[in-house]
A and B are shown apart, each in its own frame.
Chain A
Amino acid sequence: MTMLAYALYFAALVGAALVLAAWMARVYSGIPALAGIERRVLRGAGINPGRDMAWGAYALAVLAFNLAGFALLYALLRAQGALPLNPDGIGGMAPDLAFNTAVSFVTNTNWQAYSGEAQLSHLAQMAGLTVQNFVSAGTGMAVAVAVIRGFTAPKGTTLGNFWVDLTRSVLWILLPLSVLLALFLAWQGVPQTLQGAVTVTGMEGAEQIIARGPAAAQIAIKQLGTNGGGFFGVNSAHPFENPTIASNLAQSLSLLLIPVAFCFLFGRMAGDRRQGLAIFAAMAVMFVVGLGTIHAYEVAGNPALGLGANMEGKEQRFGAMLSALWAASTTAASNGSVNAMHDSFMPLSGLVMLLNMQIGEVIFGGVGAGFYGMLLYVVLAVFLAGLMVGRTPEYLGRKVEAREVTLAVLAFLSMPLGILVGGAVAATVPQALAAVQDAGPHGLSEILYAYSSATGNNGSAFGGFGAALPWHTTALGLVMLLGRYAIIVPMLAIAGSMIRKTRAPVTAGTFPTHGPLFVTLLVLTVLILGALTFFPVLALGPIAEETARVAGQTF
């Protein structure tokens, strides 16, 4: 039954992603009927939609747009106390927390060092976070499309126009899907009201204050845009954020929908669907192994707590299976929303979640971000293949040379830099160490998880970790910036250099990049690079914890 449930789920996911990819291909090449609206929007902002950008201009436009978004969101969070749509009288955010939150949403991380119902006004949720949910996702999608053009478009110098790609992503992909999902969620019981909290007197006479707000609209885009910052503190575990099994299935499907569709979109843009399928297959293999591991450990449960599944931190309606599915999806896909508390998952489930993030969230990954992240590994994989057979590596007919490999390695290094250096500092500085809740190896896992999640722009957390300490709001904010832009800029540079190359015809000597051999090579590249980089510290965290647990030790 479990296998059937998973099989149906993946069939639905892939089916929906195939349909969406066809739509996305049309959107990004321009739909004549919609061109009028696009032109009016862009002209209004002083943009000439016909002017394509070289990689440098594209990257600068991304940075300028994200800078404007950061400034606006930071100001809004600081000033929310004095602004309207604040029925619960919530005050302005402290500077360090506002910095952390603004960076977090602009970089599509959506790490929650705050608790939504207690620290955000309705206006900040709507005009601040919801907007960034759309545009940070749109930014990732635009960059991915530009990078894909660099690999697949005919020889040229430009990658497209960022403003056009961004506007198309938001208007014709994210917004229509969000409207559908928001209405579905509201039907299932997710509140969508401008009223504040309601005070009730329970059946036994106890008073209970129940926070509410315009949640459905935000949760829809939070899932679709792989953002993940919840309306409520406990995210999609909250019965208002995710009330039913149907709402849970809809949310976890939408979390993976656009990332999966990007694989198929790539195949379409490359003019060879098999290229997209190969990348999809590599991602799917890693996803299934990770999911299987988490599922097995969570269903088996924790004997120290009693017989049955590991239900600490999980909701009865979801149980172990839907919680495992969500945990695997959200860490693979850079979403970072949760429907169960990851801190209380079994040690090796935690290991899978950590590794999903540490390899750079390339198993489906964030909307757009996962795909261009995977292309980074593709460059490295064909380079390794080239070394093995002693030929200049090629991908889609274009030579991959020293410049591209250097840039790919530079981009790759941002993950260990943020996670290992950021984490090591946090593990040694007393002000930082105070955030750790659990004793023993699990404490190290908490630090590691925070820095993996922030650098990977994931946003989920081992919630026991006191992320609101000023040290971490600042340091985590900085590694979020590193994990976002130190990958976007080199990837655009790689694309900009690839598009200038002439495509060579396929010969008998061409290494095919669509067969099982390439899929295997790509998976191995991801795992070897990821494992070699992070295995030592994983051995001290989750692996040490698992051996202690099996020996019956507690901390």
Chain B
Amino acid sequence: MLTHLRPAITLMLGFTLLTGLAYPLAMTGLAQTLFPAAADGSLITQGDRVIGSGLVAQPFAEAAYLHPRPSASDWNAAGTGASNLGPTSALLVATVAERRAAWEAENGAAAAIDAVTASGSGLDPHVSPQTALAQADRIAAARGADPAAVRALIAGRVEGRALWLYGEPRVNVLQANLALDEGFPMPMPRTDDTAAE
């Protein structure tokens, strides 16, 4: 054992330099050069304000916006988490029933399964096309816009399966909301920014 300790320690330190510093630092350099926006977290800015990451869900509650899937960790992007409740959990069944009632009252349409179940990450950026389109009337009413036009905008943002085979069709909520703000500006512009100054 003792004869093996010197090679063990030396190799361990050598591999630490190679795979623990050189490798991740080289990857950082390459990624920052080749894909700078992605490597920094796909951040979206409006003016000089960073409003979020295009990959990470954020909470939306206003009627004029598309709402994301429920989050068991309250959209905390610094400490992610899921409900981890099992399939026979009475708490899970009750929570889902509650969400369903609230969702259907808000949107006047039947809720799809993704609208009432919490995602694994708590940061799922997508909803199903069905869940997105069922919110169109509510969004159109809040914006004073034509429901058919809102529905068309959302339908145009549906991403399909990869190679027609893998994954599920989906709509990115944050990006759809940016498009909604652009296509159907609010009747009254938001005043948060001026009020804060």
Please encode chain A, from 489 to 511, with 1 for each CB lying within 8 Å of some chain B CB and 0 for all others. Answer: 00000000000000000000000
Q: List 23 A-B contacts (CB under 8 A).
A: A46-B10, A65-B8, A186-B31, A189-B38, A191-B41, A193-B31, A200-B51, A216-B31, A217-B28, A239-B57, A239-B121, A302-B87, A305-B116, A311-B114, A311-B119, A315-B119, A341-B84, A343-B84, A442-B87, A462-B84, A545-B88, A555-B88, A555-B90
- Partner pick for A322 among B40, B126, B167, CB 8 A cutoff: B167
Q: Looking across the interface, which residue of chain A has its beta carbon closest to that of B61?
A: A204
Per-residue contact bits, chain B 102-145, to A (CB 8 Å; 1 contact, 0 not): 00000000011110111111111111100000000000000000
Mask for A37-50, Cβ within 8 A of B = 1, else 0? 00001001111000
Q: In the complex, are the beta carbons of B88 and A554 less than 8 A apart? A: yes
Contact (A117, B166) CB under 8 Å given A46-B6, A46-B10, A193-B41 = no
Chain B residues within an 8 Å CB radius of A198: 41, 43, 50, 53
Beta-carbon nearest neighbor of B77 in chain A: A210
In the complex, the answer to whether B168 meets A319 with C-beta atoms within 8 Å is yes
- Known contacts A134-B19, A312-B117; 4 further A-B pairs (Cβ under 8 A): A163-B11, A209-B78, A217-B27, A548-B88
Q: Return A295 CB to nearest CB of chain B, in Å.
A: 13
Contacts of B111 in A (CB 8 A): 306
How many interface contacts (CB-CB < 8 Å) are there between A and B? 368
Contact B1 A64 (CB under 8 A): yes
Q: Which residues B21-76 have CB closer than 8 A to chain A?
A: 21, 23-24, 26-28, 30-32, 34-35, 38-43, 49-53, 55-62, 65, 69, 75-76
Q: How far is the CA of A191 from the CA of B85 in the complex (A)?
A: 29
Q: Which of B52, B82, B166, B174 contacts A341 (CB 8 A)?
A: B82
How near does chain A come to B90, taking the closest CB pair, in angstroms?
Answer: 4
C-alpha spacing A41/B50, complex, angstroms = 46
Q: Which residues of A contact B61 (CB under 8 A)?
A: 204
Kindly list chain B residues whose C-beta atoms are within 8 Å of the C-beta of A209.
76-78
Task: Specify which of A127, A233, A338 is in contact with B20 (CB 8 Å cutoff).
Answer: A127
Scoring B35, B61, B86 by chain A CB atoms within 10 A of each residue's CB, the highest score goes to B86
Which residues from chain A contact B188 at a C-beta distance below 8 Å? none
Contact A316–B87 (Cβ < 8 Å): no
Point out the residues of chain B lying under 8 angstroms from A310, CB to CB. 87
Residues 461-478 of A, flagged 1 when their CB comes within 8 A of B and 0 if not, give 011100000000000000
User: A163 touching B79 by the CB < 8 A rule?
Assistant: no
A385 within 8 A of B: no
Chain A nearest CB, measured from B32 CB (Å) = 7
Q: Are A345 and B87 closer than 8 Å at their CB atoms?
A: yes
Contact with B along A310-325 (1 / 0, CB 8 A): 1111111111011000
Whether B6 lies near A45 (C-beta < 8 A) is yes
Q: Write out the residue numbers on chain A whose beta carbons fall within 8 Å of the beta carbon of B90.
A: 439, 554-555
User: Contacts A44-B10, A462-B84: A192 and B65 contacting too (C-beta < 8 A)?
Assistant: no
Find out whether the CB atom of B78 lies under 8 angstroms from the CB atom of A549.
no
Instruction: Verify if A166 is at the interface (C-beta below 8 Å from B).
Output: yes
Chain B hits for A191, CB < 8 A: 38-41
Contact B84–A246 (Cβ < 8 Å): no
Interface size for A (C-beta < 8 A) is 128
Contact, CB under 8 Å: A245 / B60: no
Asked whether any CB of chain A lies closer than 8 Å to the CB of B12, the reply is yes
Complex: A5 Cα to B111 Cα, angstroms: 28
Closest chain-A Cβ to B148's Cβ sits at a distance in Å of: 24
Contacts of A336 in B (CB 8 A): none
CB within 8 Å of B: which A55-111 residues: 57, 60-61, 63-65, 67-69, 72
> Contacts A64-B1, A233-B79, A306-B113 given: A203-B124 contact, CB under 8 Å?
no
Say whether A18 faces chain B, with CB atoms less than 8 Å apart: no
Nearest residue (CB) in A for B181 is A203
When distances are taken between beta carbons in the complex, the residues of chain B under 8 Å from A117 are 78-80
Question: Which residue in chain A gives the minimum CB-CB distance to B57?
Answer: A239
Please report the C-alpha to C-alpha distance between residue A340 and residue B58 in the assembled complex, in whole angstroms.
19
The 6 A-B residue pairs whose C-beta atoms are closest, nearest first, are A308-B113, A237-B120, A319-B168, A464-B84, A127-B20, A245-B167
Interface with B: A177-185, A375-383, A427-435, which one?
A: A177-185
Which of chain A's residues have a CB closer than 8 A to the CB of B55? Answer: 189, 239-240, 243
- Residue A486 is within 8 A (CB to CB) of chain B in the complex: no
Which chain A residues border B80 with CB–CB below 8 Å?
115, 117, 232-234, 238
Beta-carbon contact of A308 and B112 below 8 Å: yes
A94 to B126 Cα, complex, angstroms: 37
Interface: B151 (CB within 8 A): no
How far, in whole Å, are A112 and B112 apart by their CA atoms in the complex?
A: 32
Inter-chain contact A68/B9, CB cutoff 8 Å: yes
Interface presence of B194 (CB below 8 A): no
Q: Chain B residue with minimal CB distance to A116? A: B80
Known: A163-B7, A319-B168. A305 touches B121 (CB 8 A): no
The answer, among A41, A57, A201, A463, for a CB contact under 8 Å with B49, is A201
Contact in complex: B52, A203 (CB < 8 Å): yes
Tell me whether A130 and B19 are in contact in the complex, defined as CB-CB below 8 angstroms, given that A68-B12, A210-B77 are known contacts.
yes
* A204/B165 contact (C-beta < 8 A), A315-B119, A317-B170 known: no
Q: Are A201 and B41 in contact (CB under 8 A)?
A: no
Minimum CB distance partner of A325 in chain B? B166
Q: How far is the CB of A554 from chain B (nearest CB, A)?
A: 4
The listed residue (A195, A217, A315, A462) touching B23 by CB distance below 8 A is A217
Chain A residues, Cβ within 8 Å of B6: 45-46
